[in-house]
Amino acid sequence: MNNARLNILLFRLLLVSFLISIVFSTHLMASETDSSEIPFYELDQMLIKFKATREGTVELSLFRKIKFEGKVIELPYERQHGYLDKVIRDIAPKSTVASTQGLTLASKQKKILSVYIIDELADGMNEHLNIGDDVAFEAYHVYNSPYGPGLLIYSWEKKVEPNWFQRFLIERKRREVNAR
């Protein structure tokens, strides 16, 4: 009798765990679309397109939100930030955003870009990221310089492979879209 009750209890526990994982997976997929109104750019495309049009100048972009992906090649480090501080003070004098650190990224074509990060992200990046990790970023496009875009990272997510259930949902969604 005790064995049967234990088996039923274990089965219920397994069923609840499975249902929780389904809900969590669906929630993760739903959260991917929350910021879909923010445009996505390829890093290689940005390095070509987002440059100052006149030699020796910097053109402001007024903190337009963008999304992109890159490979981490240098973890957070202290970097020069005087120009960014000036732009933040000019645009939003009451802002408390601090950005004294940077991150170096590589594009798919191995082009390099150094970006600013909000200081409060640095500890989490140092703890959870490694050199070579592929990461999805959300950033403010602050300016264009002769070297490329000046980006201020405000959000990041390490790219991981979806589990089998997430792949199933992705495939089902793809089939629905293609059927239309």
**pLDDT 10s digits, 54-112:** 877 787 877 889 999 999 999 999 988 888 888 888 888 888 888 889 999 999 999 99
Query: What residues pair up with 140 in beta bridges, in sequence order?
Result: 65, 152
**pLDDT class of 124 with cuts at 50, 70, 90:** very high
Q: Do 20 and 54 share a domain, yes or no? A: no
Is residue 3 domain-shared with residue 90, that is, in the same domain? no
59 and 105 fall within a common domain: yes
Q: What does the pLDDT read at residue 17?
A: 59
Does residue 177 lie in a domain region? no
Distance of CA 152 to the CA centre of its chain: 12
CA distance readout (Å), 63 to 83, 99, 109, 145: 14, 14, 26, 14
The CATH code of the domain that includes 59 is: 2.40.50.140
In this structure, the answer to whether residues 60 and 147 fall within a common structural domain is: yes
For the chain, count helices (H), then strands (E). 5, 5
Residue 49 and residue 16 share a domain: no
- Please report which helix (H) or strand (E) contains residue 154, including its range: strand 148-158
Angle, alpha carbons 167-170-176 (nearest 5°): 140
Question: Does some domain include residue 80?
Answer: yes
In a domain, 57, yes or no: yes
Q: Are residues 19 and 48 in the same domain?
A: no
- 23 lies in a domain? yes
Determine the average pLDDT of the residues in 111-131.
Answer: 93
Helix, strand, coil shares of the chain, percent, nearest 5, are: 40, 30, 25
Are residues 107 and 26 both part of a single domain?
Answer: no
The domain of 7 spans 1-34
Residues 154 and 66 in one domain: yes
Question: Do 98 and 19 fall within a single domain?
Answer: no
